[in-house]
């Protein structure tokens, strides 16, 4: 998918308040250390959700492989190919989860950008955060993104 997926003038948000003390921002390779803690600390849950479709995250994922993955995500955000937002506390000392926004594979019958969206939240996230993310994401995408349709292939909204 190329940058033509979204309108040329679209600028993706760089910092998004989610609730008191928690925000979203584009993930970056420099987040590898805290991403490894979040991902590998929740690897069985993430594999159950994404393993069959994405082959991620493998049980033996290395920090080097994670950094390469985060670097790819960062590059794809710059070119608007796809988006990966980290869910973080104000001090950015941890990753509480991620939100993935990708072009839909089968949107040819729809005029305008169609997104497939998924997210995860760590098991030990602050109380109520998973519910806050579930309420926030559809509203945020509806208000601030140019999508004509948003799909949730992993069942987050249904």
Please report the pLDDT score of residue 3 as a whole number.
Answer: 42
Contact 63, 42 (CB under 8 A): no
Model pTM? 0.94
- What single DSSP character describes residue 50? H
With contact defined as beta carbons under 8 Å apart, do 117 and 156 qualify? yes
Indicate the helix (H) or strand (E) that contains 84. Answer: strand 83-89
How much of the chain, in percent, has pLDDT values that exceed 90?
A: 89
pLDDT, position 2:
44
| Contact (CB, 8 A) for 72 and 79 | no
DSSP state of 3: G
Q: How far apart are CA 115 and CA 11, in angstroms?
A: 16
**What stretches in the chain show pLDDT beneath 50?**
1-3
Looking at residue 158, its pLDDT comes to 52
Q: What is the pLDDT of residue 156?
A: 85
Which pLDDT value is given to residue 109? Answer: 73
> Which position has the token pair 């940058």?
3
CA 91, 144, 151, 105 torsion: positive or negative? negative
């Amino acid at each position: 998918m190329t940058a033509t997926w979204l309108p040329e003038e679209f600028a993706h948000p760089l910092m998004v308040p989610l609730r008191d003390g928690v925000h979203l921002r584009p993930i970056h390779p420099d987040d590898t250390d805290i991403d490894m803690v979040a991902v590998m600390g929740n690897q069985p849950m993430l594999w159950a959700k994404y393993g069959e479709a994405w082959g991620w995250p493998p049980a033996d994922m290395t920090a080097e492989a994670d950094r390469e993955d985060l670097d790819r995500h960062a590059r794809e955000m710059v070119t608007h190919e796809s988006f990966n937002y980290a869910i973080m506390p104000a001090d950015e000392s941890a990753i509480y989860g991620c939100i993935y926004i990708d072009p839909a594979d089968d949107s040819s019958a729809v005029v305008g950008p169609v997104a497939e969206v998924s997210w995860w939240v760590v098991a030990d996230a602050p109380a109520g955060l998973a519910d806050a993310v579930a309420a926030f994401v559809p509203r945020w995408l509806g208000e601030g993104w140019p999508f004509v349709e948003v799909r949730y292939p992993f069942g987050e909204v249904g």
